[in-house]
Structure 1
Amino acid sequence: MASKPPTIIFVVGAWHTDFHLRLIKPDLEKYGYRVLPITLRTSIKSTPAPTLQDNAADILQAMQREANAGNPFVLLGHSVAGLSTTLAANEFLATATPQHKALFVHYVWIACFLNGHRIAPYLTWASTTEDGAWIEVKDPHATFYNDMSIADAQPYIDALEANVAAWPPEYGDAYKSVQGTYLLCLNDRAIPPEEVQRLEAQENGMRIVELKADHVPFVSHPEETAEALHNALKRG
Protein backbone atom coordinates (compact mmCIF):
# COMPACT_ATOMS: atom_id res chain seq x y z
CA MET A 1 0.00 0.00 0.00
CA ALA A 2 1.24 3.50 -0.76
CA SER A 3 2.57 5.55 2.17
CA LYS A 4 -0.38 7.90 1.82
CA PRO A 5 -3.58 6.03 2.77
CA PRO A 6 -5.63 5.66 -0.40
CA THR A 7 -9.14 6.90 -0.94
CA ILE A 8 -11.60 4.01 -0.94
CA ILE A 9 -14.15 4.49 -3.71
CA PHE A 10 -16.84 2.31 -2.15
CA VAL A 11 -19.54 1.28 -4.62
CA VAL A 12 -22.44 -0.39 -2.84
CA GLY A 13 -24.47 -3.09 -4.54
CA ALA A 14 -28.02 -3.09 -5.84
CA TRP A 15 -30.75 -1.65 -3.63
CA HIS A 16 -28.12 -0.21 -1.26
CA THR A 17 -27.05 3.43 -0.86
CA ASP A 18 -24.47 5.40 1.11
CA PHE A 19 -26.79 5.02 4.12
CA HIS A 20 -25.61 1.42 4.33
CA LEU A 21 -22.01 2.60 4.83
CA ARG A 22 -22.81 4.63 7.94
CA LEU A 23 -21.34 1.97 10.27
CA ILE A 24 -18.17 1.00 8.42
CA LYS A 25 -17.20 4.48 7.24
CA PRO A 26 -15.94 5.68 10.67
CA ASP A 27 -14.13 2.36 11.19
CA LEU A 28 -12.25 2.81 7.92
CA GLU A 29 -11.54 6.44 8.70
CA LYS A 30 -9.87 5.35 11.94
CA TYR A 31 -7.28 3.60 9.76
CA GLY A 32 -6.69 6.83 7.88
CA TYR A 33 -8.75 6.12 4.76
CA ARG A 34 -10.99 8.63 3.09
CA VAL A 35 -14.20 6.87 2.01
CA LEU A 36 -15.98 8.05 -1.12
CA PRO A 37 -19.41 6.33 -1.31
CA ILE A 38 -21.08 5.77 -4.66
CA THR A 39 -24.67 4.63 -5.11
CA LEU A 40 -25.37 2.88 -8.40
CA ARG A 41 -27.67 4.88 -10.63
CA THR A 42 -29.41 1.59 -11.39
CA SER A 43 -30.42 1.53 -7.72
CA ILE A 44 -32.56 4.65 -8.07
CA LYS A 45 -35.80 4.35 -10.02
CA SER A 46 -36.07 6.80 -12.88
CA THR A 47 -37.47 7.04 -16.41
CA PRO A 48 -35.90 5.99 -18.66
CA ALA A 49 -34.26 3.27 -16.56
CA PRO A 50 -30.54 3.86 -16.01
CA THR A 51 -27.93 1.45 -17.40
CA LEU A 52 -24.76 -0.24 -16.24
CA GLN A 53 -22.90 2.21 -18.45
CA ASP A 54 -24.45 5.08 -16.46
CA ASN A 55 -23.09 3.47 -13.30
CA ALA A 56 -19.67 3.06 -14.85
CA ALA A 57 -19.58 6.70 -15.93
CA ASP A 58 -20.11 7.86 -12.33
CA ILE A 59 -17.44 5.50 -11.03
CA LEU A 60 -14.97 6.47 -13.75
CA GLN A 61 -15.50 10.15 -12.94
CA ALA A 62 -14.66 9.47 -9.29
CA MET A 63 -11.52 7.57 -10.28
CA GLN A 64 -10.41 10.37 -12.56
CA ARG A 65 -10.99 13.00 -9.88
CA GLU A 66 -8.82 11.12 -7.42
CA ALA A 67 -6.09 10.59 -10.00
CA ASN A 68 -6.15 14.23 -11.08
CA ALA A 69 -5.72 15.23 -7.42
CA GLY A 70 -2.73 12.89 -7.11
CA ASN A 71 -4.54 10.63 -4.63
CA PRO A 72 -3.90 6.89 -4.60
CA PHE A 73 -7.21 5.06 -4.57
CA VAL A 74 -8.85 1.70 -4.07
CA LEU A 75 -11.89 0.74 -6.12
CA LEU A 76 -14.27 -1.41 -4.07
CA GLY A 77 -17.40 -3.04 -5.47
CA HIS A 78 -20.08 -4.89 -3.55
CA SER A 79 -22.29 -7.60 -5.09
CA VAL A 80 -23.73 -6.52 -8.47
CA ALA A 81 -21.44 -3.47 -8.39
CA GLY A 82 -18.74 -5.83 -9.64
CA LEU A 83 -20.25 -5.40 -13.10
CA SER A 84 -20.12 -1.60 -13.11
CA THR A 85 -16.79 -1.24 -11.31
CA THR A 86 -15.18 -3.55 -13.86
CA LEU A 87 -16.52 -1.49 -16.75
CA ALA A 88 -15.14 1.64 -15.09
CA ALA A 89 -11.80 0.04 -14.22
CA ASN A 90 -11.25 -1.10 -17.79
CA GLU A 91 -12.11 2.33 -19.18
CA PHE A 92 -9.82 4.07 -16.70
CA LEU A 93 -6.90 1.75 -17.50
CA ALA A 94 -7.47 2.23 -21.24
CA THR A 95 -7.40 6.02 -21.09
CA ALA A 96 -5.32 7.11 -18.07
CA THR A 97 -1.71 8.21 -18.15
CA PRO A 98 0.90 5.85 -16.68
CA GLN A 99 1.18 8.18 -13.68
CA HIS A 100 -2.56 8.04 -13.06
CA LYS A 101 -2.72 4.28 -13.59
CA ALA A 102 -0.13 3.88 -10.82
CA LEU A 103 -2.52 5.59 -8.40
CA PHE A 104 -5.09 2.79 -8.87
CA VAL A 105 -3.49 0.68 -6.16
CA HIS A 106 -6.05 -2.04 -5.38
CA TYR A 107 -9.30 -3.51 -6.64
CA VAL A 108 -11.58 -5.08 -4.00
CA TRP A 109 -14.74 -7.11 -4.40
CA ILE A 110 -17.20 -8.05 -1.68
CA ALA A 111 -19.44 -10.96 -2.77
CA CYS A 112 -19.25 -9.81 -6.40
CA PHE A 113 -19.77 -11.60 -9.68
CA LEU A 114 -19.29 -11.08 -13.40
CA ASN A 115 -20.60 -14.38 -14.74
CA GLY A 116 -24.32 -13.81 -15.13
CA HIS A 117 -24.99 -17.35 -16.32
CA ARG A 118 -23.42 -18.74 -13.15
CA ILE A 119 -25.40 -16.58 -10.76
CA ALA A 120 -28.77 -16.81 -12.54
CA PRO A 121 -29.90 -20.19 -11.08
CA TYR A 122 -29.38 -18.90 -7.54
CA LEU A 123 -31.50 -15.76 -7.83
CA THR A 124 -34.66 -17.43 -6.54
CA TRP A 125 -34.82 -14.77 -3.80
CA ALA A 126 -35.57 -12.09 -6.40
CA SER A 127 -38.46 -11.36 -8.74
CA THR A 128 -39.02 -8.85 -11.52
CA THR A 129 -41.73 -6.21 -11.59
CA GLU A 130 -44.67 -6.64 -13.96
CA ASP A 131 -42.99 -4.53 -16.62
CA GLY A 132 -39.79 -6.59 -16.29
CA ALA A 133 -37.67 -3.48 -15.79
CA TRP A 134 -36.87 -3.73 -12.09
CA ILE A 135 -35.87 -6.50 -9.68
CA GLU A 136 -37.35 -6.84 -6.21
CA VAL A 137 -36.16 -8.82 -3.18
CA LYS A 138 -38.75 -11.13 -1.66
CA ASP A 139 -37.28 -11.24 1.86
CA PRO A 140 -34.45 -8.73 2.41
CA HIS A 141 -33.75 -9.86 5.96
CA ALA A 142 -33.26 -13.53 5.05
CA THR A 143 -31.38 -12.65 1.87
CA PHE A 144 -29.08 -9.81 2.92
CA TYR A 145 -28.94 -9.49 6.71
CA ASN A 146 -29.27 -13.04 8.05
CA ASP A 147 -26.49 -12.41 10.59
CA MET A 148 -28.64 -9.72 12.24
CA SER A 149 -31.91 -9.71 14.14
CA ILE A 150 -34.90 -8.37 12.24
CA ALA A 151 -35.04 -5.40 14.63
CA ASP A 152 -31.39 -4.49 14.04
CA ALA A 153 -31.69 -4.98 10.29
CA GLN A 154 -34.94 -3.05 9.88
CA PRO A 155 -33.44 0.44 9.36
CA TYR A 156 -31.27 -0.98 6.57
CA ILE A 157 -34.20 -2.85 5.03
CA ASP A 158 -36.24 0.34 5.10
CA ALA A 159 -33.41 2.19 3.33
CA LEU A 160 -33.20 -0.23 0.39
CA GLU A 161 -33.97 1.33 -2.97
CA ALA A 162 -34.31 -0.30 -6.41
CA ASN A 163 -32.42 -2.40 -8.93
CA VAL A 164 -32.79 -2.24 -12.68
CA ALA A 165 -32.90 -5.54 -14.57
CA ALA A 166 -29.75 -5.49 -16.71
CA TRP A 167 -27.75 -8.36 -18.16
CA PRO A 168 -23.95 -8.19 -17.78
CA PRO A 169 -22.05 -7.01 -20.86
CA GLU A 170 -18.87 -8.52 -22.23
CA TYR A 171 -15.68 -7.51 -20.42
CA GLY A 172 -12.06 -7.07 -21.28
CA ASP A 173 -9.49 -8.15 -18.70
CA ALA A 174 -7.49 -4.95 -18.16
CA TYR A 175 -8.75 -4.80 -14.56
CA LYS A 176 -6.80 -7.98 -13.78
CA SER A 177 -3.58 -5.96 -13.97
CA VAL A 178 -4.47 -4.30 -10.65
CA GLN A 179 -3.88 -6.15 -7.38
CA GLY A 180 -7.20 -7.65 -6.38
CA THR A 181 -8.70 -8.93 -3.14
CA TYR A 182 -12.01 -10.73 -2.79
CA LEU A 183 -13.81 -10.58 0.56
CA LEU A 184 -15.70 -13.88 0.48
CA CYS A 185 -18.78 -13.94 2.72
CA LEU A 186 -19.20 -17.42 4.15
CA ASN A 187 -22.74 -16.89 5.52
CA ASP A 188 -24.05 -15.27 2.33
CA ARG A 189 -27.53 -16.41 1.24
CA ALA A 190 -27.70 -14.11 -1.79
CA ILE A 191 -24.50 -15.01 -3.66
CA PRO A 192 -23.45 -18.59 -2.76
CA PRO A 193 -19.95 -18.51 -1.27
CA GLU A 194 -18.62 -21.71 -2.84
CA GLU A 195 -20.67 -22.11 -6.00
CA VAL A 196 -20.20 -18.50 -7.08
CA GLN A 197 -17.95 -16.30 -4.93
CA ARG A 198 -14.91 -18.55 -4.69
CA LEU A 199 -15.01 -19.35 -8.39
CA GLU A 200 -15.31 -15.67 -9.28
CA ALA A 201 -12.33 -14.80 -7.07
CA GLN A 202 -10.21 -17.57 -8.57
CA GLU A 203 -11.13 -16.82 -12.17
CA ASN A 204 -10.33 -13.15 -11.67
CA GLY A 205 -6.97 -13.79 -10.00
CA MET A 206 -7.97 -12.22 -6.70
CA ARG A 207 -6.55 -12.97 -3.28
CA ILE A 208 -9.32 -14.43 -1.12
CA VAL A 209 -10.06 -13.19 2.39
CA GLU A 210 -12.86 -15.08 4.12
CA LEU A 211 -15.39 -13.33 6.34
CA LYS A 212 -17.85 -15.16 8.57
CA ALA A 213 -20.57 -12.79 7.46
CA ASP A 214 -23.76 -12.45 5.44
CA HIS A 215 -24.14 -10.65 2.13
CA VAL A 216 -23.68 -7.15 3.56
CA PRO A 217 -20.78 -7.43 6.02
CA PHE A 218 -20.24 -3.66 6.17
CA VAL A 219 -23.64 -3.49 7.87
CA SER A 220 -23.65 -6.70 9.94
CA HIS A 221 -19.92 -6.83 10.80
CA PRO A 222 -18.47 -3.37 10.15
CA GLU A 223 -15.46 -3.55 12.48
CA GLU A 224 -14.37 -6.98 11.23
CA THR A 225 -14.86 -5.95 7.62
CA ALA A 226 -12.87 -2.75 8.06
CA GLU A 227 -10.05 -4.69 9.74
CA ALA A 228 -10.00 -7.33 7.00
CA LEU A 229 -9.93 -4.66 4.31
CA HIS A 230 -7.19 -2.71 6.08
CA ASN A 231 -5.04 -5.84 6.45
CA ALA A 232 -5.53 -6.70 2.77
CA LEU A 233 -4.49 -3.23 1.67
CA LYS A 234 -1.44 -3.29 3.96
CA ARG A 235 -0.30 -6.46 2.21
CA GLY A 236 -0.44 -4.64 -1.10
Structure 2
Amino acid sequence: MPRFLLIHGSCHGAWCWRDVLTALHRAGAEARAIDLPSHGADRTPLADVTLDLYADAILDAIDAPVILVGHSMAGFPISAAAEKAPGKIRSLVYVCAYAPVTGLSLVDMRRAAPRQPLLDTIVKSEDGVSFSFDPEKVRETLFHDCSDEAVADAKARLGPQPILPQATPIALSARYASVPKRYIRCLQDRAIPPEYQATMTADWPADRVDTLDCSHSPFLAQPEALAALLLKGADTP
Protein backbone atom coordinates (compact mmCIF):
# COMPACT_ATOMS: atom_id res chain seq x y z
CA MET A 1 0.00 0.00 0.00
CA PRO A 2 1.63 3.30 -1.05
CA ARG A 3 2.12 5.95 1.61
CA PHE A 4 2.15 9.64 0.62
CA LEU A 5 2.98 12.87 2.41
CA LEU A 6 1.82 15.97 0.53
CA ILE A 7 3.52 19.37 0.96
CA HIS A 8 1.92 22.62 -0.17
CA GLY A 9 3.48 25.58 -1.95
CA SER A 10 3.78 29.28 -1.19
CA CYS A 11 0.97 30.90 0.84
CA HIS A 12 -1.03 27.64 0.85
CA GLY A 13 -1.60 24.98 3.51
CA ALA A 14 -2.59 21.35 3.89
CA TRP A 15 -6.13 22.41 2.93
CA CYS A 16 -5.25 22.60 -0.76
CA TRP A 17 -4.75 18.81 -0.99
CA ARG A 18 -8.24 17.86 0.29
CA ASP A 19 -9.62 16.48 -2.98
CA VAL A 20 -6.36 14.71 -3.87
CA LEU A 21 -6.33 13.03 -0.45
CA THR A 22 -9.90 11.87 -1.00
CA ALA A 23 -8.93 10.31 -4.33
CA LEU A 24 -5.83 8.64 -2.89
CA HIS A 25 -7.75 7.24 0.08
CA ARG A 26 -10.43 5.91 -2.26
CA ALA A 27 -7.73 4.02 -4.13
CA GLY A 28 -6.50 2.43 -0.89
CA ALA A 29 -3.39 4.55 -0.37
CA GLU A 30 -2.25 6.01 2.91
CA ALA A 31 -1.93 9.76 2.49
CA ARG A 32 -1.80 12.90 4.57
CA ALA A 33 -0.88 16.54 4.16
CA ILE A 34 0.71 18.90 6.66
CA ASP A 35 0.93 22.64 7.22
CA LEU A 36 4.49 23.87 6.98
CA PRO A 37 5.64 26.24 9.76
CA SER A 38 3.66 29.54 9.72
CA HIS A 39 1.15 28.16 7.19
CA GLY A 40 -2.42 27.02 7.67
CA ALA A 41 -3.07 26.26 11.33
CA ASP A 42 0.62 26.42 12.29
CA ARG A 43 1.35 29.52 14.37
CA THR A 44 5.15 29.70 14.00
CA PRO A 45 6.10 33.40 13.67
CA LEU A 46 6.94 34.33 10.08
CA ALA A 47 10.34 35.73 11.07
CA ASP A 48 11.37 32.38 12.62
CA VAL A 49 10.80 30.28 9.53
CA THR A 50 13.80 28.86 7.64
CA LEU A 51 14.31 26.30 4.92
CA ASP A 52 15.86 24.05 7.56
CA LEU A 53 12.75 24.39 9.74
CA TYR A 54 10.59 23.40 6.78
CA ALA A 55 12.70 20.27 6.25
CA ASP A 56 12.56 19.35 9.93
CA ALA A 57 8.77 19.74 10.01
CA ILE A 58 8.48 17.36 7.07
CA LEU A 59 10.77 14.78 8.64
CA ASP A 60 8.95 15.03 11.98
CA ALA A 61 5.75 14.03 10.15
CA ILE A 62 7.29 10.83 8.76
CA ASP A 63 7.29 7.64 10.85
CA ALA A 64 7.78 5.22 7.93
CA PRO A 65 9.21 5.80 4.45
CA VAL A 66 6.89 7.88 2.25
CA ILE A 67 6.47 9.12 -1.26
CA LEU A 68 7.06 12.81 -0.58
CA VAL A 69 5.13 15.15 -2.86
CA GLY A 70 5.90 18.86 -3.15
CA HIS A 71 4.00 21.55 -5.05
CA SER A 72 5.68 24.68 -6.43
CA MET A 73 8.07 26.17 -3.84
CA ALA A 74 7.83 22.91 -1.84
CA GLY A 75 10.33 21.44 -4.26
CA PHE A 76 12.96 23.04 -2.06
CA PRO A 77 11.81 21.80 1.38
CA ILE A 78 11.16 18.25 0.16
CA SER A 79 14.65 18.21 -1.35
CA ALA A 80 16.16 19.57 1.87
CA ALA A 81 14.35 16.83 3.79
CA ALA A 82 15.73 14.19 1.42
CA GLU A 83 19.23 15.55 1.91
CA LYS A 84 18.86 15.29 5.70
CA ALA A 85 17.24 11.86 5.89
CA PRO A 86 17.11 9.98 2.57
CA GLY A 87 16.16 6.77 4.36
CA LYS A 88 12.80 8.28 5.33
CA ILE A 89 11.82 8.99 1.75
CA ARG A 90 10.92 6.34 -0.77
CA SER A 91 10.75 8.84 -3.62
CA LEU A 92 10.25 12.54 -4.34
CA VAL A 93 7.50 13.87 -6.61
CA TYR A 94 7.69 17.45 -7.84
CA VAL A 95 4.30 18.85 -8.89
CA CYS A 96 4.97 21.89 -11.12
CA ALA A 97 7.66 22.58 -8.55
CA TYR A 98 11.16 23.97 -8.44
CA ALA A 99 13.63 21.10 -8.88
CA PRO A 100 16.57 22.55 -6.93
CA VAL A 101 20.13 23.03 -8.08
CA THR A 102 22.73 22.86 -5.32
CA GLY A 103 24.11 26.25 -4.39
CA LEU A 104 21.06 28.14 -5.65
CA SER A 105 18.07 29.51 -3.76
CA LEU A 106 14.51 29.40 -4.98
CA VAL A 107 14.77 33.14 -5.65
CA ASP A 108 17.84 32.47 -7.81
CA MET A 109 15.96 29.82 -9.77
CA ARG A 110 12.86 31.95 -10.21
CA ARG A 111 15.00 34.76 -11.62
CA ALA A 112 16.61 32.29 -14.03
CA ALA A 113 13.24 31.47 -15.59
CA PRO A 114 12.57 32.91 -19.05
CA ARG A 115 9.50 34.77 -17.75
CA GLN A 116 8.27 36.09 -14.40
CA PRO A 117 4.47 35.79 -14.70
CA LEU A 118 3.85 35.72 -10.93
CA LEU A 119 5.62 38.97 -10.03
CA ASP A 120 2.58 41.21 -10.46
CA THR A 121 0.63 38.98 -8.08
CA ILE A 122 3.15 39.21 -5.23
CA VAL A 123 2.72 41.86 -2.51
CA LYS A 124 5.69 42.19 -0.16
CA SER A 125 5.07 42.99 3.51
CA GLU A 126 6.23 46.33 4.89
CA ASP A 127 8.80 44.63 7.14
CA GLY A 128 10.21 42.61 4.25
CA VAL A 129 9.74 39.32 6.11
CA SER A 130 7.01 37.87 3.91
CA PHE A 131 4.87 38.28 0.83
CA SER A 132 1.25 37.56 0.02
CA PHE A 133 -0.71 37.00 -3.17
CA ASP A 134 -2.95 39.82 -4.37
CA PRO A 135 -6.45 38.31 -4.04
CA GLU A 136 -7.61 40.25 -7.10
CA LYS A 137 -5.01 38.57 -9.30
CA VAL A 138 -4.75 34.98 -8.05
CA ARG A 139 -7.51 33.59 -10.25
CA GLU A 140 -5.65 34.66 -13.38
CA THR A 141 -2.22 33.44 -12.24
CA LEU A 142 -2.94 30.42 -10.03
CA PHE A 143 -6.52 29.23 -10.52
CA HIS A 144 -7.70 30.17 -14.01
CA ASP A 145 -9.20 26.72 -14.71
CA CYS A 146 -10.64 26.09 -11.24
CA SER A 147 -14.27 26.37 -10.20
CA ASP A 148 -15.61 29.59 -8.69
CA GLU A 149 -16.26 27.74 -5.45
CA ALA A 150 -12.70 26.41 -5.27
CA VAL A 151 -11.22 29.83 -6.04
CA ALA A 152 -13.33 31.55 -3.37
CA ASP A 153 -12.32 28.96 -0.80
CA ALA A 154 -8.64 29.24 -1.73
CA LYS A 155 -8.67 33.05 -1.62
CA ALA A 156 -10.11 32.89 1.90
CA ARG A 157 -7.36 30.52 3.04
CA LEU A 158 -4.22 31.92 1.39
CA GLY A 159 -1.77 33.41 3.89
CA PRO A 160 1.62 35.14 3.99
CA GLN A 161 4.74 33.38 2.76
CA PRO A 162 8.04 33.81 4.66
CA ILE A 163 10.75 35.02 2.29
CA LEU A 164 13.85 33.66 4.06
CA PRO A 165 13.29 29.98 3.10
CA GLN A 166 13.06 31.03 -0.53
CA ALA A 167 16.16 33.22 -0.36
CA THR A 168 18.33 30.49 1.19
CA PRO A 169 20.66 28.53 -1.14
CA ILE A 170 20.25 24.78 -0.85
CA ALA A 171 23.15 22.36 -0.44
CA LEU A 172 22.59 18.96 -2.01
CA SER A 173 24.88 15.94 -2.10
CA ALA A 174 24.87 12.26 -2.98
CA ARG A 175 22.37 11.76 -0.15
CA TYR A 176 19.76 13.71 -2.08
CA ALA A 177 20.85 12.19 -5.38
CA SER A 178 20.21 8.70 -4.00
CA VAL A 179 16.46 9.31 -3.69
CA PRO A 180 14.35 8.44 -6.79
CA LYS A 181 12.49 11.38 -8.30
CA ARG A 182 9.51 12.08 -10.55
CA TYR A 183 8.09 15.30 -11.98
CA ILE A 184 4.58 16.36 -13.02
CA ARG A 185 4.60 19.32 -15.40
CA CYS A 186 1.52 21.53 -15.74
CA LEU A 187 1.14 22.72 -19.31
CA GLN A 188 -1.10 25.74 -18.62
CA ASP A 189 0.95 26.98 -15.65
CA ARG A 190 0.92 30.76 -15.27
CA ALA A 191 3.19 30.85 -12.21
CA ILE A 192 6.19 28.68 -13.12
CA PRO A 193 6.44 28.79 -16.92
CA PRO A 194 5.84 25.37 -18.50
CA GLU A 195 8.96 25.78 -20.64
CA TYR A 196 10.99 26.33 -17.47
CA GLN A 197 9.55 23.16 -15.96
CA ALA A 198 10.77 21.41 -19.11
CA THR A 199 14.20 22.96 -18.72
CA MET A 200 14.46 21.84 -15.10
CA THR A 201 13.74 18.25 -16.13
CA ALA A 202 15.54 18.22 -19.50
CA ASP A 203 18.03 15.57 -18.38
CA TRP A 204 15.49 13.43 -16.48
CA PRO A 205 14.49 10.04 -17.94
CA ALA A 206 11.31 10.43 -20.00
CA ASP A 207 9.46 7.88 -17.89
CA ARG A 208 10.06 10.04 -14.81
CA VAL A 209 8.20 13.06 -16.21
CA ASP A 210 4.42 13.27 -16.66
CA THR A 211 2.17 16.13 -17.71
CA LEU A 212 -1.23 17.53 -16.84
CA ASP A 213 -2.97 20.00 -19.13
CA CYS A 214 -3.93 22.40 -16.37
CA SER A 215 -2.99 25.45 -14.31
CA HIS A 216 -0.51 25.80 -11.45
CA SER A 217 -3.16 24.32 -9.14
CA PRO A 218 -3.83 20.75 -10.29
CA PHE A 219 -5.01 19.81 -6.79
CA LEU A 220 -8.06 22.03 -7.40
CA ALA A 221 -8.35 21.87 -11.20
CA GLN A 222 -7.74 18.15 -11.75
CA PRO A 223 -7.43 16.38 -8.37
CA GLU A 224 -8.48 12.95 -9.69
CA ALA A 225 -5.98 13.12 -12.55
CA LEU A 226 -3.23 14.27 -10.22
CA ALA A 227 -3.98 11.43 -7.80
CA ALA A 228 -3.89 8.96 -10.69
CA LEU A 229 -0.41 10.14 -11.71
CA LEU A 230 0.81 9.90 -8.13
CA LEU A 231 -0.50 6.35 -7.91
CA LYS A 232 0.93 5.49 -11.33
CA GLY A 233 4.43 6.21 -10.10
CA ALA A 234 3.97 4.65 -6.66
CA ASP A 235 5.14 1.19 -7.70
CA THR A 236 8.26 2.45 -9.48
CA PRO A 237 11.40 2.68 -7.32
Which TM-score applies when normalising by structure 1? 0.83
The one of 87, 96, 102 equivalent to 1:111 is 96
- Matches of residues 1-236 of structure 1 in structure 2 within 5 Å? 5-43=1-39, 46=45, 48-63=47-62, 65-66=63-64, 72-93=65-86, 101=87, 104-113=89-98, 114=100, 115-120=106-111, 122=116, 123-124=118-119, 125-138=121-134, 139-166=137-164, 167-173=167-173, 174-195=175-196, 197-202=197-202, 207-236=208-237
**Shift of residue 212, structure 1, vs aligned partner:** 0.7
Identity over the aligned pairs, expressed in percent?
A: 26
Count of residue correspondences: 217
- Distance of 2:81 and 2:204 partners within structure 1: 16
- Distance of 2:59 and 2:76 partners within structure 1: 13
- Distance of 1:33 and 1:151 partners within structure 2: 27
- Distance of 1:171 and 1:42 partners within structure 2: 23
Which TM-score applies when normalising by structure 2? 0.83
Deviations 1:81-113 (A, max 9, x none): 1111111110003xxxxxxx2x63221011111
**Shift of residue 42, structure 1, vs aligned partner:** 4.4
Letter in 2 for 1:232: G
Q: Is the 8 A contact 2:38 2:46 kept in 1?
A: no
Provide closer, same or farther for how the CA distance between residues 47 and 16 of structure 1 changes in structure 2, counting only shifts above 3 A.
closer
- Distance of 1:50 and 1:23 partners within structure 2: 28
Letter in 1 for 2:202: Q
- 3-state SS in 2 of match to 1:23: helix
Letter in 1 for 2:85: F
Q: Is the 8 A contact 2:7 2:33 kept in 1?
A: yes
Point out 4+ residue stretches in structure 1 off by more than 6 angstroms: none
Partner of 1:96: none
Gaps of 5+ in 1: 67-71, 94-100
